């Protein structure tokens, strides 16, 4: 069924996103539990949120991710998890006892990201940052 005719609800899209995030967290947990994993004083995990610019309710995303992370927090797990919007509009930081959102001052992707091994489809750029006529 074409999604442009029958789009998913925001709740359905969030549920799919959370399922994919859980799969990623499960995979990262397996890596962290390997004997050859070199631990530091603190171990942080950074996840990229490829749909963050589409999802407009950051508070809902933060609450849902915080609930999801509740299944993972242990003494031997990551001490902090960062969720980074693909276009650097915001970051979310989570720890066992706190969470916060950090907004970016600019809406343009950093030039260093665009210049170094990070491909952004030009048609997507035009959707996100339309040029003035």
Nearest partner of 17 among 82, 70, 62, judged by Cα: 62
Amino acid 53: pLDDT? 45
Instruction: Give which of 49, 44, 45 is closest to 62, Cα–Cα.
Output: 49
Q: What is the dihedral of CA 13, 14, 16, 18, to 10 degrees?
A: 160
| C-alpha to C-alpha distance for 44 and 80, rounded to whole angstroms | 5
Measured CA to CA, the distance from residue 103 to residue 106 in angstroms comes to 9
Every domain of the chain and the residues it spans: 10-106
- Closest to 90 (Cα-Cα) out of 114, 79, 106, 112: 106
Q: Which residues contact 130 (CB under 8 A, 6 or more apart)?
A: none
pLDDT tens-place string over residues 59-89: 888 899 999 999 999 988 999 999 987 766 7
The confidence score (pLDDT) of residue 133 equals: 47
* Structural contact between residues 94 and 65, judged by C-beta atoms closer than 8 angstroms: yes
Full-model pTM: 0.69
Output the pLDDT for position 58. 77
Q: Which residue has the higher pLDDT, 38 or 7?
A: 38
pLDDT per residue over 14-59, tens digit each? 888 899 999 999 999 999 999 999 888 889 999 887 665 455 577 8
């Amino acid at each position: 069924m074409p999604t442009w005719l029958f789009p998913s609800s925001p709740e359905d899209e969030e549920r799919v996103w959370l399922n994919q995030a859980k799969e990623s967290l499960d995979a990262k947990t397996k890596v962290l539990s390997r004997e050859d994993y070199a631990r530091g004083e603190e171990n942080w995990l950074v996840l990229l949120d490829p749909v963050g610019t589409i999802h407009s309710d950051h508070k809902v995303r933060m609450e849902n991710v915080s609930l999801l992370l509740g299944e993972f927090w242990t003494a031997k797990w990551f001490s902090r998890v960062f969720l980074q919007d693909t276009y650097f509009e915001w970051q979310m930081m989570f720890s066992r006892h706190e969470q916060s959102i950090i907004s970016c001052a600019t809406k343009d992707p950093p030039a260093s990201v665009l210049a170094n091994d990070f491909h952004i489809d030009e048609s997507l750029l035009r959707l996100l940052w339309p040029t003035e006529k």
